[in-house]
Amino acid sequence: MRARLLDGAVAGAVGSVALDVVSYLDMAVRARPASSTPQASAERLAGLAHVDLGSEDQAANRRSGLGPLLGYGLGVAAGAAFAVLAGRRRISTPLAVALLGGGVMAASDGSMTMLGVTDPRSWRRSDWVADLVPHLAYGVAAAATWNRLRPPR
């Protein structure tokens, strides 16, 4: 079980890198700004936990570091959760991509919605595409890594 969890965590980390690469490529190609939602999520979580992030300059810097770390934590945790779900079964690549990418997208968007950081009901089509494509990249990379790490049966 420990090896499966580790493989799932590694797959989630690889998926997180793929998500970031696709997001940064989108920013470069479309000249769009970075999303502020990771930093806003970090700020909301710190507030809910009654954690003082310091002076405004310190807080801004901490939010800039904590926001992406939350994303990596979610991606790694999702990979580990997938490992538990998959167990010893070999899951087809399309199903793994859907479960991993869709699961991370639902967890990410759902948590930000619950924190009051965003409201997906107000998103435009381009916002949905900008959210879906990187999560699809996460799913593809994580599923490919998972299948590569798991020995054939």
* Domain-located, residue 126: yes
Q: What angle do CA 64, 53, 36 make, to 5 degrees?
A: 30
Residues in Cβ contact with 3 at an 8 Å cutoff, skipping those fewer than 6 apart: none
pLDDT exceeds cutoff 70 at 153: no
Question: Quick check: 135 and 142 in contact, CB under 8 A?
Answer: no
* Domain-located, residue 44: no
Tell me, yes or no, if the pTM score tops 0.85. Answer: yes
pLDDT exceeds cutoff 70 at 103: yes
Question: Quick check: 91 and 97 in contact, CB under 8 A?
Answer: no
Contacts 24+ apart (CB under 8 A), 16-21: 16/71, 16/72, 16/75, 16/76, 16/138, 17/141, 18/134, 18/137, 18/138, 18/140, 18/141, 18/142, 19/71, 19/75, 19/104, 19/134, 19/135, 19/137, 19/138, 19/141, 20/68, 20/71, 20/134, 21/137
* Domain-located, residue 128: yes
Number of domains in the chain: 1
* Domain-located, residue 26: yes
* Domain-located, residue 120: yes
pLDDT by residue (tens digit) across 19-46?
999 999 999 999 999 999 999 999 999 9
pLDDT exceeds cutoff 80 at 152: no
pLDDT by residue (tens digit) across 45-100?
999 999 999 999 999 999 999 999 999 999 999 999 999 999 888 889 999 999 99
* Domain-located, residue 108: yes
Confidence of residue 150 (pLDDT cuts 50, 70, 90): confident
* Domain-located, residue 45: no
Provide the domain limits for residue 112: 2-34+72-149
* Domain-located, residue 56: no
